[in-house]
Amino acid sequence: MRHLLLLIISTTFLSITLNGQSIEQDSPDDNPYSVNIHRLGPDDSFTLDGKMEEAFWNDVTPIRNFSQRDPVEGGQPTERTEVYLAYDDNYLYIGAKLYDSDPSGILAWQKRRNQGLSTDDRFMVILDTFHDGRNAYFFETNPAALRGDGLLTVGQGTNLNKAWDGIWDVQTSISDDGWIVEMRIPFRSLDFNPNNSTWGINFQRTIRRQNEEIIWSGWRRHQSLMRPQNAGVVTGFSDLEEGVGLEIKPYVTSNASRIRPEGMETVDDLTADAGFDATYNVTPSLRTSLTINTDFAETEVDQRRVNLTRFPLRFPEQRDFFLEGSSIFSFAPASGVSPFFSRQIGLSDGEPVPVRGGLRILGREGNTNLGLYQIRTASMDEIPTEDFTAARVSQNIFSESNIGLIYTRRASDDDIFNNRHTLGADMELSTSEFRGDRNLQFQAFFVWHNPQTPEEVSSFFDRTSRGIRINYPNFPFYIRSSYREFGSSFDPAVGFTPRNGFRRVQPTAGYQWYLPDSRLIRSWEVQVRYEHLTDLDFRPADVNLNIRPVIIQFESGDRIDVGIRRAFERLRNEFDILRDGNIIIQPGDYYTWRFNTRFRSASHRRAAGSVEFSREGFWTGTRNIYDLSGTIRPYPGINLSVDWSRSDVNLPEGDFTTDLIRFRGNIDLTPDIAITNIVQFDDISDMLGLYNRIRWTITPGSDLYLVYNHNWIRFDERFSPIETQGALKVNYTQRF
């Protein structure tokens, strides 16, 4: 087994190295996916109205050679698409005429920035401004002129960071011929090499009622818009205006709260505060930011969960300040290791800890990607003042590969001699030219940290993790396999590790059939996933075989999944399921089966939803899991959703039921005014929470937020208020 693994790794290295060294770009004259951009003249004017009535559009040669990616790979699109490109010193202009023979069927349910567009017709663009096939800016819109954007990075899987909110604008219009898009993107919103006249670019259109995806370049199913290496090229840029590179973003906020601790007096608090972020482009592609008195009042509340596992749950980062740099700090993605988890900074058990200030550096210099956080938090209650450092550097090698290092440090004023350090290294070797045009990826990582306390007794390998991953993500067959080890004391101070002290092997394989002659079924996929997890002495701890014989995508957009799992779990210590001492599972070996089925309706319907049922062996008994979700869209811009999850557990030690209910109402009056309403309740914490937020984008980059939180706890079948919070925040962006 060990020799076979070494042979696979060696072959992967050799294939990627040889392919990476032999890549040559097609010249523009030979490339059907190359376009020369039109430059506006001194007398040309532009009005952003989504109509493309300016005279200069008539001088632009449109891009017309689009192909289907779905449902027919490389097929002729059912509707015409034309894209026009132009620019001047300050802006990139993108116009698109999206013809439609049935304009009444055009769908535009969403208006909120960065809202998912699985419900709507859409138009998407990526800009690879360095033309290296590794990173790109992502922009999308729908017929309601929604603004969606993000930062796209190459890796194992789709790495799209939609927390990046660029300053740009779009307008659309619907006519008898279809719909029209006009985008205006300031060059000051982009990082690029001013000496490079060629960018990577690609476009994709979705005709939602037909579930048809139309793309310019990279129409094979193992390619996509999300892979910059499959993009086309645009040439002819010159004399772009970058500006001074300075951006100032001040804010003012006012907060009011009322806390009602049980059996204690009510505490009222009213505060006002201010701060700012200042960003400066040290180079065209490297930005440094200074943040003073950082505030996260506008951050959306976490989704509540019920945890019936033995391990802590990971809640995603939602603060824009940290999300913006998350792609650079991504470490061995898909390998399940997190030496840096930004929620360790400024949060304690989900509650905010004041951030006094910090420094952030993000960007690249040549083939080197750089990221740095230096953050200082304030003391609060029993939490001391702390300093956090996170540094990331990765070097691009060959055509699609990279190697990198990450370092974190955590230190408190209470114990200045106990600096907790973490150091990691990762490598990703990738090629999209394996055996012609196939994708092949290899990943490896190693992470170490010092003892958490001076009294800790642990070896070097106790405090390390390491692993490898091989991925063959292609159509119709795909396969991936990973191996990882986590030491018994592995727990990075600024990371997240739900479990340590194990060795794990996990292969997954699948096959997907497309059925072009069927009017009912578009594709049928089968998948097998195996997990073999042992302790560090190679004694089995978790063994799972998951078989999904039915993954069907219907022509209508509906989907059905069926899965079966055989599981073994060895429990070495008592497990208090509800964390209240009532139901204790004793140590032992447990063998169980699980059956799962899920139906999800097409999301573009006015009323859509999903239903899921699972029945499984659960320790000494059984558990039935019911998940229902539904969304109603009575009018474009209004999305009302309800999710209900129930676990019905039957054990010899005792029966219990858990319920989690969540309501979300998104009311988006325009693309610039968004109202969020969230109500959550679970009967484990007996907490009922109400969250309301109004966001008004005054101009791109400048916003007003009004936030209101109210929490109750259930006592004796009645709800008593325990906390009320309100916040008003205004920020403004000024560029130089």
CA angle 104, 109, 112 (to 5 degrees): 145
Of 511, 456, 510, 516, which Cα lies nearest the Cα of 488?
456
Please tell me the distance from the alpha carbon of residue 361 to that of residue 370, in angstroms, as a whole number.
Answer: 7
Give the model confidence (pLDDT) of 395-432 as tens digits: 999 989 999 999 999 998 877 668 999 999 999 999 99
Please tell me the distance from the alpha carbon of residue 541 to that of residue 139, in angstroms, as a whole number.
Answer: 45
Give yes or no: residues 446 and 391 share one domain. Answer: yes
- The DSSP-derived string for 586-627 is PSEEEEEEEEEEEEE--TTSSEEEEEEEEEEEETTEEEEEEE
Q: pLDDT band at 321, cuts 50/70/90?
A: confident
Q: How many CB atoms lie within 10 A of CB 477?
A: 11
- Rounded mean pLDDT, 261-284: 88
Q: Give the domain CATH number at 105.
A: 2.60.40.1190
User: Count of domains in the chain?
Assistant: 2
Give yes or no: residues 356 and 475 share one domain. Answer: yes
Cα within 13 Å of Cα(518), Cβ side: 14
Cα within 13 Å of Cα(417), Cβ side: 2
Confidence check: pLDDT of 16 > 60: no
CB 203 within 8 A of CB 74: no
- Rounded mean pLDDT, 610-627: 98
CB 82 within 8 A of CB 636: no
Give yes or no: residues 112 and 224 share one domain. Answer: yes
- Residue labelled with tokens 């009575």: 634
The whole-number pLDDT of residue 158 equals 63
N residues, the chain: 736
Give yes or no: residues 43 and 126 share one domain. Answer: yes
Give yes or no: residues 211 and 96 share one domain. Answer: yes
- Picking from 447, 464, 497, the residue at the C-terminal end of a domain is 497
Give yes or no: residues 2 and 36 share one domain. Answer: no
Is the pTM of the predicted complex or chain greater than 0.85? yes
Give yes or no: residues 98 and 191 share one domain. Answer: yes
Please tell me the distance from the alpha carbon of residue 185 to that of residue 129, in angstroms, as a whole number.
Answer: 13
- Picking from 482, 497, 512, the residue at the C-terminal end of a domain is 497
Question: Which of 219-223, 224-228, 353-357, 389-393 is the most confident on average?
Answer: 389-393
Query: Which of the two residues, 181 and 22, has the higher pLDDT score?
Result: 181
Please tell me the distance from the alpha carbon of residue 178 to that of residue 169, in angstroms, as a whole number.
Answer: 21
Q: pLDDT band at 29, cuts 50/70/90?
A: low
Cis peptide before 71 (omega within 30 of 0): yes
Partners of 26 in the β-ladder:
none
Please tell me the distance from the alpha carbon of residue 251 to that of residue 727, in angstroms, as a whole number.
Answer: 13
Is 698 within a domain? Answer: no
Give yes or no: residues 134 and 220 share one domain. Answer: yes
- Rounded mean pLDDT, 676-685: 96
The whole-number pLDDT of residue 25 equals 39
Domain hosting residue 174, numbered range: 31-235
Give yes or no: residues 64 and 134 share one domain. Answer: yes
Which of 357-366, 530-539, 546-555, 670-679 has the weakest average pLDDT? 357-366
Give yes or no: residues 120 and 157 share one domain. Answer: yes
* HEC per residue, 100-135: CCCHHHCCCCCCCCCCCCCCCCEEEEEEECCCCCCE
Give yes or no: residues 72 and 12 share one domain. Answer: no
- Picking from 189, 208, 235, the residue at the C-terminal end of a domain is 235
- Residue labelled with tokens 């952003």: 48
Confidence check: pLDDT of 7 > 70: no
